[in-house]
A and B are shown apart, each in its own frame.
Chain A
Amino acid sequence: MMIDENLNYVILANNINKKFLKNFSEYPVINELSFVNLKNKLEFYTSKRIIFNNTFYALRDFEKKEILKLLNKQKIKYINITSDIEEVIDCDYIVVYDDENIALEGKKDDVLREEKILKKLGYGLPFVVDLSTQLTYYNIFSKVYDDMDELVGELWN
C-alpha cells in the first residue's frame, strides 16, 4: 500500500490478526490504551506517522477528539486500523479490506458513496452519512453530511 505522508488513513478491516498487522510493520503500532496513557504516549512521540490498532475502542468521543487534536498539533499523521465505520469520519483516505484483500479504497467522500459495497461487506455507513444519504432519497437533502451538528441544524433550520 502506497502511503501519502500528508494524509490520515483509516483501514477498515474485518479480520485484524497478527498476519494482517505485518503489512504495517514499518511503523510503530499502538493497541488499545486508556485515554491518559495514550495522551502521555503521544506527547513524547517522535515519529511522524503512527498506527492505531483498535486503539479508540474504549475512548469516549470527546477523548477521541482530543487525541486527534493532539496529533494535529504535533503534526503526526495516523493510520487507524479498525472495524468501526464511525471512525472514518475524521480521516482523509479509506482503505476497505475484505479479509486480506482490498475491496475498495479512495478519498473519504468517494468511498462513503459506495453505500451498497460497504453494507454488503458488513461495515455499513457512519450513522450521520447513512441518515443524510437516505434523506437525499426522500428529497429532503441534496447533499450528504458527515457532521451531526451540521446535519441537525440543516434539517430543522
Chain B
Amino acid sequence: MELSNLNGQIIGIISDDFKKEEYFGKLVNEIVTTKPNEAIKMVKLDSNILNINYDDLSIREQNKVILASQLHNKEIILINFSKGMLKKDLEYFKRLFKKISTYNRKIILIDKNADLFINCVDRIYVINNDKVIFDTLDIFDRVLDMYIDPPKIVEFCHKCENLGVRLDHYKELDELLKAIYRIKS
C-alpha cells in the first residue's frame, strides 16, 4: 500500500498491516541524526536522552524519539504513537502535527487509539490486507465504530442521540458542556 497516495495532509489509519520499526541496541543519537538537539527539544525530551540506549526508554519516550527522527522528513509515518502517551501529550502533539503540516509535510498516523485522530486528522482510512476498505472525513461516522472504539466524547454524543437528544458533533469538552448547559437550562 502506497500511503503517500492517500488524500489528506494529516491522515489517520486503522490497520494491522503495518509493523513499527524498532531500534533496539541503538543509542538515541544514532536514531535522531538530523539536527538532533532541536528535534529532541521539539518532542519534549531532554537532550541528555541522546546518549541513552533506545531499549532503556519507556514506550512513551521511544515514540517521541521515533517522531524526532522523522521531524525533517517530507512524510512522517508513526505507528501506535499514542501508546504510552498521556492526555496532555496527545494535545501537545496534535498541535505540533498541525504546525508541521503547514510546512507541506504529510503526517500518517497508524494507530489503535481514536483519541489521537479527533481534532487532528483530515481523513481516516481503514486498511486491511493492503486495501482501503473504508474511509471517512468524519470521526462521528458510526461505521467507524466497527473498526475502532470512538473517542469517548463521540461515544457520548452517539449515546445521547440514541436517547433522542441531538447534540452537535462537539470535539471539545468545553463546547459540549456549554451545549448541555444550554439544553438543561
B-binding residues in A (CB < 8 A): 14-20, 32, 54, 57-58, 60-61, 83, 85-86, 119, 121-124, 126-128, 130-131, 134-135, 138, 140, 148-149, 152-153, 155-156
Q: A127-B153, A140-B184, A155-B180 are in contact. Are A122 and B86 (CB under 8 A)?
A: yes
When C-beta atoms are compared, the residue in chain A nearest to B162 turns out to be A152
Which residue of B57, B60, B163, B173 is within 8 Å of A83 (Cβ)?
B60
A86 CB → nearest B CB, Å: 7
Contact indicator A140/B180 (Cβ below 8 Å)? yes
B9 CB → nearest A CB, Å: 26
Report B-chain residues with C-beta under 8 Å of the C-beta of A60. Answer: 148-149
Q: A61-B149, A152-B160 are in contact. List 10 more A-B contacts (CB 8 A).
A: A16-B58, A17-B58, A17-B61, A60-B148, A135-B180, A138-B180, A140-B180, A149-B159, A156-B160, A156-B163
Alpha-carbon separation in the docked complex, A85 to B184 (Å): 28
Which residue of A18, A20, A85, A148 is within 8 Å of B155 (Cβ)?
A148
16 contacts between A and B (CB under 8 A): A16-B60, A17-B57, A54-B59, A54-B83, A57-B83, A61-B149, A86-B152, A124-B87, A126-B152, A134-B173, A135-B180, A138-B180, A148-B152, A149-B159, A152-B159, A156-B164
When C-beta atoms are compared, the residue in chain A nearest to B92 turns out to be A122
Contact indicator A127/B156 (Cβ below 8 Å)? yes
Contact indicator A123/B152 (Cβ below 8 Å)? no
A136 CB → nearest B CB, Å: 11
Contact indicator B152/A128 (Cβ below 8 Å)? yes
When C-beta atoms are compared, the residue in chain A nearest to B88 turns out to be A122
When C-beta atoms are compared, the residue in chain B nearest to A123 turns out to be B86
Contact indicator A83/B84 (Cβ below 8 Å)? yes
A-binding residues in B (CB < 8 A): 55-61, 80, 83-89, 112-113, 148-149, 152-153, 155-156, 159-160, 163-165, 173, 176-177, 180-181, 184
Contact indicator A138/B58 (Cβ below 8 Å)? no
Report A-chain residues with C-beta under 8 Å of the C-beta of B84. Answer: 16, 54, 83
Do most interface residues of chain B lie in helix, strand or loop, or is the interface mixed? helix
Q: Which of B56, B149, B160: most chain A CB closer than 10 A?
A: B149
Report B-chain residues with C-beta under 8 Å of the C-beta of A61. Answer: 149
Which residue of B80, B86, B148 is within 8 Å of A14 (Cβ)?
B86
When C-beta atoms are compared, the residue in chain A nearest to B62 turns out to be A17
Contact indicator A152/B163 (Cβ below 8 Å)? yes
Alpha-carbon separation in the docked complex, A8 to B164 (Å): 37
The 10 closest A-B pairs by CB, nearest first: A127-B152, A122-B88, A124-B87, A122-B86, A17-B58, A152-B159, A15-B58, A58-B112, A16-B58, A61-B149
Report A-chain residues with C-beta under 8 Å of the C-beta of B163. Answer: 152-153, 156
When C-beta atoms are compared, the residue in chain B nearest to A62 turns out to be B149
Alpha-carbon separation in the docked complex, A140 to B61 (Å): 40
